[in-house]
Structure 1
Amino acid sequence: MSELTNYEKVEKLLEKYAEIDIDIKALEYQIKIEDIKGLSYNDMPGAPIPSNASPVEIQLNNIEKLKIDKSILEFEKDSIDNMLRVLDDTEKTLIKYKFINKLQYKQIALKMNMNQDYLAEKKSRIIDKLIPYALRYKLI
């Protein structure tokens, strides 16, 4: 299996970008659930704990890990947002329609009032334009 090119890596990054907000929100929900679990106290003994850590410590460690995971995703999203600042409004719109809304070129052409073939070519130029920034910011 061959390794992905930088072009393909940027495409994957943009596809992932569309899901980052969903992942961040899911982590926020998990943190809330862990907080609620930590607040509920039951007099009944639970399962034995394999280490010397108390259930409270384990709960706090789980919450801390979730918060770190959330921070990493937020940083990644901010880094991608920063990279996308090099694009003009038309280029951003095309990227939004193609990677976030996951529209086909025919649909994008109707929305942007442009030729499908031109949009496909423009997308390629945009990806090529983003590669140096993705490399510089260590996103790929």
Structure 2
Amino acid sequence: MSINTVTIQGGATSEVELRYLSNGTAVAQFSLAQTPRRYNKQTQQWEDGDTHYFDVTIWKHKAEAAANQITKGTQLIVTGRLEQQRWEDKQGNKRSRVQIVAEELAVLVKAQKQDGSAQAPQQGWGNSNQQQSQQQPQQGNDTWGGG
């Protein structure tokens, strides 16, 4: 048995492209950027690492929900599996790419305090069974189609 699961937190770098297959199945694609932060003990400050970019694909009703809720810049947590695609281009060169096939998406909402300043993002988990310490959406607001 092999386990192929990845969870990435980052920002959408493109608008969601929603399309439908001939059988009516929805598929959505977008790209996601993730920049790790590291604490530099010498400068005693947080610094950005190299930014990594990922192509994300999501299917069916979750694809439609993604198209309705995700825009460029939306902060997300994406959980899914890695999938490698291989093909030959028009010049005969062998090409490949690795994408994330998303199983779950969570939009991170940046709340505002009463004084107008931002506070830490709250996670809207949709259909995930997370610990009760994480904020859950209210009954009937599950746009990712769980339940």
Q: Same fold (TM over 0.5)?
A: no
Greater strand percent: which structure?
2
TM-score range relative to shorter protein: under 0.3
The higher-RCO structure (CA 8 Å, 6+ apart) is 1
* TM-score (ref. length: structure 1): 0.20
* TM-score (ref. length: structure 2): 0.20
